[in-house]
Amino acid sequence: MSAFVVIDHIDQVFPLANGGAYIALKNISLEIKKGEFVTLLGHSGCGKSTLLNIIAGLARPTAGGILLEGRQVTEPGPDRMVVFQNYSLLPWLTVRQNIALAVDEVMSHLPASERSEIVEHHIDMVKLRPAAEKRPGQLSGGMKQRVSIARALSIKPKVLLLDEPFGALDALTRSGLQDQLMQIAQQNQLTCIMVTHDVDEALLLSDRIVMLTNGPESYIGQIIDVPFARPRERLKVVNHPNYYALRSEISYFLNQQKKAKQRKTQVVAIARNGLEKVNLELGFMPLTDCASLVVAHEMGMFKKYGLEEVTLSREPSWKAISEGVVSKRLDAAQMVAGMPLGLTVGMGGRAPIPVVTSLVLSRNGNAITFSKRLFEAGVRNLADFKAMLTAEAGAQPRTLASVHPASMHNLIMRYWLASGGIDPDHDVNLTVIPPPQMVATLKAGNIDGFCVGEPWNAHAVSEGLGFVIANDLELWAGHPEKVLGMREDWANQYPETHLALVKALMEAAEYCDDRRNRGEIAELLAKPNYVGAKLDYIRAGFLDPYDRGDGRPPETLLRFNQFHIDMTNCPNRGEALWILTQLARWGIAPFPKNWVDVLDRVRRMDVYGAAARALEMPDTAPNRGSFALFDGTVFNPDDPLGYLDSLAIKQEIQIQEIDLDGAVSKTAVAA
């Protein structure tokens, strides 16, 4: 479905009395479908109402514009009606007269009898028949707001704009009006854009929640898709397995914005010890393999190498990690292995943004977990799953989840499926879900399985919801899993800080691979500000035997989580080249014709080598050579295109010359 409302690169700048300027909104872009309910959420001062006024035509943006059904919005109009928090009713007119005022103005071409029918219909719609002859002073707050909604809807607007419509009401009245608005919007297929501070209200009413960062220069920090089916009932929404995970994700974003605002008011640490910058914001995901970051923070490694003020920012999704680094909200972050490469070559059709990695933070640590329902249906391995899909041909495809398109979870699960003759883009549905939401989504029956890092597989097994059908050690033992990623311009601006960060994390990684420390580390990871999962889930595979949930005895997996041994931390370019082939294989990103240049730019062996030498560790890369995954198919890094051509299941391979300064020119398409 094409976009109904387009918010196209909006900037809003207000002049200040001292001759300066306040940038309220910066580069806001959003497309809204017809009939969609979108909520703008953020702290006070983030520009939510300013953006709503621009959409309404009550304010003109400094740059960019609004399109409604392909036409530019330049002024207020009856196709966009606003419901304000303060009702905005004329006090000397009755309920009927307030509604009629709008109808008579906009629909003057209709006969009086027809206009009267419209007024009466909307009085009944909001259940105000007994109060039709009352004036606003005789009405409760909730009744006044119902009049405002009826007046807005009576002229059949294309878009209903709601600015904190229930903010001034008591909880009981607000609840009733939310239910009424939800019912009206559903019945009339209204396109609604609402501003609110209420997280629960946003989850109840919205199809998407657009969260804005703090001002000045507020931008879209994250968009949450709300998966609850319509029509909605309040109790069913609250009891949905994903409800509290989504609520937690939104609350976390808002708390992070609050902390960021507080940090801006603090005195910034002064760079010293030869470092250009000593106050860093590092993003991470709540996974067992964030251990190096946690250890460096808790055990003082960051401070040992001169990084005085390091904040670990627990992010809600890998998408938020990517956006945080790209927007410069984060200095650097734990990233899925393919993310720096994907961002650099222009993943998903986006403009290339050079991102570098000089350190592999972890290897292995993932598993493919299937629902216990499939186990009970006889699925024990990939061949069984293939047979099930064949038997179910023509039925609704099975749905599997990974955590990010450029993650090893996605790439290895796709490789695994294809090795069994299953086309991951045609024979199953693949979706992306943040790691902390995997178990709840599996429990709800919305997916049939997932590939994710720990402790979320162990959680599903412990709850009796799933079984591990394959793990990393069986698919590609020793593959790169998480890396340290940062913008290239950041790394160039702060070279000594970059080196200090890598040294601190390499020392922490060595600490993590001493199994005598694993019990202590697991307890740190279990804290709410890090992974926040049960200690038993974190210890599974990390220290304790690993239970697959398939009836077999738990097994000890010594290298299931690998942080340092066997040159874990080296950003091997051969492995990175394999990742590039897989991103191209599945249409996630083009394959760079100048792949040697791309790898040299992304994998910073110079920084890794300098850090390793400073720590008296080996500083050379492993010997370049061919390797194979579990199926025996050999990857020759000297012939990546030949390797791609040999793969039976793949999409059309796009080959592009990547301008590493941002421009992309398409040069070839291979079959």
For the stretch 554-598, pLDDT in tens is: 999 999 999 999 999 999 999 999 999 999 999 999 999 999 999
Kindly indicate the confidence band of residue 262, based on its pLDDT and cuts at 50, 70 and 90.
Answer: low
Q: Which residue has the higher pLDDT, 89 or 462?
A: 462
The answer, yes or no, to whether residue 438 has pLDDT greater than 90, is yes
Kindly indicate the confidence band of residue 326, based on its pLDDT and cuts at 50, 70 and 90.
Answer: very high
- Determine the average pLDDT of the residues in 378-402: 96
pLDDT over 90, % of the chain? 61
Helix (H/G/I), strand (E/B), else coil: 452: strand
What per-residue confidence (pLDDT) applies to 669? Answer: 41
What per-residue confidence (pLDDT) applies to 544? Answer: 97
CB atoms within 10 A of CB 511: 20
Q: What average pLDDT does the structure give for the chain?
A: 90
How far the first Cα of the chain sits from its last, in Å, is 29
Using left for φ > 0, alpha for ψ between -120 and 50, and beta otherwise, residue 642 falls in: alpha
The answer, yes or no, to whether residue 508 has pLDDT greater than 90, is yes
**Of the ranges 87-91, 374-378, 666-670, which one carries the lowest mean pLDDT score?**
666-670
The answer, yes or no, to whether residue 28 has pLDDT greater than 50, is yes
Residue pLDDT, tens place only, 174-183? 787 788 778 8
Kindly indicate the confidence band of residue 289, based on its pLDDT and cuts at 50, 70 and 90.
Answer: very high
- Determine the average pLDDT of the residues in 209-217: 88
Q: Which residue has the higher pLDDT, 441 or 547?
A: 547
The answer, yes or no, to whether residue 392 has pLDDT greater than 90, is yes
Using left for φ > 0, alpha for ψ between -120 and 50, and beta otherwise, residue 446 falls in: alpha
Residue pLDDT, tens place only, 294-324? 999 999 999 999 999 999 999 988 998 998 9
The answer, yes or no, to whether residue 138 has pLDDT greater than 70, is yes
CB atoms within 10 A of CB 526: 18
What per-residue confidence (pLDDT) applies to 264? Answer: 55
- 504, 296 Cβ separation under 8 angstroms: yes
Residue pLDDT, tens place only, 37-71? 999 998 888 888 999 999 999 999 999 999 998 89
- Range 267-361+481-540+570-616+640-670 has CATH code 3.40.190.10: yes
Q: Cis link prior to 216 (omega < 30° from 0)?
A: yes
Q: What is the pTM of this model?
A: 0.74
The answer, yes or no, to whether residue 671 has pLDDT greater than 60, is no
| Matching residue, tokens 């933070």 | 361
The answer, yes or no, to whether residue 140 has pLDDT greater than 50, is yes
**Of the ranges 1-5, 487-491, 549-553, which one carries the lowest mean pLDDT score?**
1-5
Kindly indicate the confidence band of residue 98, based on its pLDDT and cuts at 50, 70 and 90.
Answer: confident
What per-residue confidence (pLDDT) applies to 662? Answer: 56
Kindly indicate the confidence band of residue 507, based on its pLDDT and cuts at 50, 70 and 90.
Answer: very high
- 119, 129 Cβ separation under 8 angstroms: no
The answer, yes or no, to whether residue 667 has pLDDT greater than 70, is no
Name the residue among 341, 292, 342, 298 with its Cα closest to residue 501: 292
Residue pLDDT, tens place only, 410-427? 999 999 999 999 999 999
At the top level of CATH, which class does the domain 5-257 belong to? alpha beta
Q: Where do the structural domains in the chain lie, given as residue ranges?
A: 5-257, 267-361+481-540+570-616+640-670
